[in-house]
A and B are shown apart, each in its own frame.
Chain A
Amino acid sequence: MDTITKEQRKAALDLMKANLASDSKFQTHLNACVRCGLCATSCMYYIAFKDPKYIPGRKVNLVSSIYRRYFTPEGKYFPSLFNARNLDAEMAEEMVDCLFGGCTMCGRCVKHCSIGVDVSYIVKKGREMLAVMGLVPKTLQATVDAAINTGNNMAIPTEEFVDTIKWMEEELQDEMGDPKANIPLDETNRHIIYTLNPREPKFFPLSISAMAKVFYAAGESWTLSSKYYDVTNYGFFNGNNEEAAKIAGYLYDETHRLKADKLVLGECGHGSRASRWEGPNLLKKAYDFEMTTALELMAEYIRTGRIKVDKTKNQTLCTLHDPCNLVRNGGLLEEMRFVVKSCVANFVEMTPHGNDNFCCGGGGGQLAMSEYNERRLKIGGIKADQIKATGAKIVITPCHNCVDQLMQINHTYKLGVTIKTVAEIVADALVLPDPASPHDNPADTAAETVADPLHTDSNSSK
């Protein structure tokens, strides 16, 4: 980065000003850090690299030094006394390196901060400033662009998606021995609209059939959209809130278009967060339909007896990886364990786990940023050690982003484990109803009246 133009600086400072004016949270966290440095040992990057540039407090300090320089009199007149820094090229470069390339926004340091500074929130605000300056790492931006332009972050053409879904449907019918077992596409007035991570149809479709099996067992009335099924939202990571809002809007609009009662967010930590918690704020309106995660839905199925699971079907020793965006930042600590423990006979926790768990290393958009690949694999070593210490042979996690990172850790650190989503574990433990006895619920009747969606072009070609 050679220079920062006046326009770039102005855009970033205008954004900071607007963020400062909107509520008291930004001002609070910018002023609260006392640079005690005790957060260092809670951060994966610091633990892995021992480089002070990764100390969470220092990341906060990058953003707060700009705040002091431009928004406080003491920083304006005595910058060197208060570490108030100009927003120049050097500063922007450091910010890109540390806020994009040196933080998974997992929030582990937040929980352990001696004060209670929301480091990941400040990092997010810093990324937003970099985004308005046009400084998002290329590979991350490419993923966002693909989602905006095609409706999914892997730019999968609709026909190819539909082919894959039909393929999975055939497999499901074979497995269930029931020609009525189906994966509905673009059906309207269903109870649930389900969403996926594009890596499922593209490369790992077994988790789609696993969830379809769960829906089948539950007799759920559900559908997928053939166009807007992508649960991910890398706009949450690139810091461009307009883009994030646009992507969140795709699912919002599609839920309305298909007249579903409930949007169910597939197993994706940041994607769930981007819709469930950030979506209404991005779109500046409360959602007028129900929204839940696949995890909570499966918990409900099991709790209400809508599906029956037999944990003895999963005998291998399993452990659980807590996705940061679902647990620390999503409050699903108990739900996740309820589902998993209902479905596996032998379970062991990692140390630490739950709200204290370490990120897989692929969060915060790291998985999409080739620029920082080496760092990502190095910090993943912490997770590798955690997994090794459990002795488990299966690692379960309700997040496809984590799954991919864990697969790479598995390979890199030669762990010899299998990585599974929660739906896959639930599907393995399912006790299916006798196919001969028809269950009386709306899904079945709906399924009977529906023609093959592949050939009802009015739907599939949207």
Chain B
Amino acid sequence: MDIKDFEVDGDGFLTKPELWNEEVAKMFAKSDGIEEMTPKHWAVVNIIRKNFEEKGNAPMVRTICQETGLKLREIYELFPLGPARGACRVAGLPKPDGCV
């Protein structure tokens, strides 16, 4: 399986978020330079995924911190591209609107 097997938009976000699974997450993470998905990575991704499935959009970074107990700076360290282009992409969300 390869990223090329999936339909992504110009920014590399999944166009069909329902096709997402853990393997996809690992693949996307790897392409962002995250060699290994640690439990902290998964915690962030799962919260984003949950929020997306419930509300149809990406959660605030505040929600991510609150639910995972991680510090803001840790999130930026875990996902060097930030919560949007980094974590949300790994979580299989479509690209959020705006300056991200």
Contacts and interface: CB of A to CB of B under 8 A. Distances in A.
Instruction: Tell me if chains A and B make direct contact, with any CB pair below 8 A.
Output: yes
Contacts of B61: 164, 202-205
Of B58, B96, B97, the most chain A CB neighbours within 10 A belong to: B97
Interface size range of chain A in the complex: 35 or more
Interface in A356-380: 362, 367-374
Contacts of A197: 98-99
Contact of A146 (B32, B98, B100): B98
A91 interface: no
A407 B57 CA distance: 22
Given A370-B10, A411-B80, A400 B60 contact: no
Of B13, B33, B61, B95, the most chain A CB neighbours within 10 A belong to: B61
Given A203-B83, A407-B82, A370 B62 contact: no
B18 to A, nearest CB: 19
B9 interface: yes
Interface in A192-242: 197-199, 201-206, 232
A110 B57 CA distance: 40
B100 A155 contact: no
B10 A371 contact: yes
A160 interface: yes
A368 B62 contact: no
A97 interface: no
A370 B96 contact: no
B96 to A, nearest CB: 6
Given A153-B97, A203-B83, A411-B33, A167 B62 contact: yes
A370 B81 contact: no
Contacts of A160: 60, 62-63
Contacts of A156: 60
Given A146-B97, A268-B99, 13 more contacts: A139-B9, A143-B97, A154-B97, A160-B63, A163-B60, A164-B61, A198-B98, A202-B61, A203-B61, A370-B95, A404-B82, A404-B99, A408-B85
15 contacts: A160-B62, A163-B60, A198-B98, A199-B98, A199-B100, A202-B61, A202-B96, A203-B61, A203-B83, A205-B62, A370-B13, A371-B10, A372-B10, A373-B12, A404-B85
Interface of A: 139, 142-143, 146, 153-156, 160, 163-164, 167, 197-199, 201-206, 232, 268, 362, 367-374, 400-401, 404, 407-408, 411
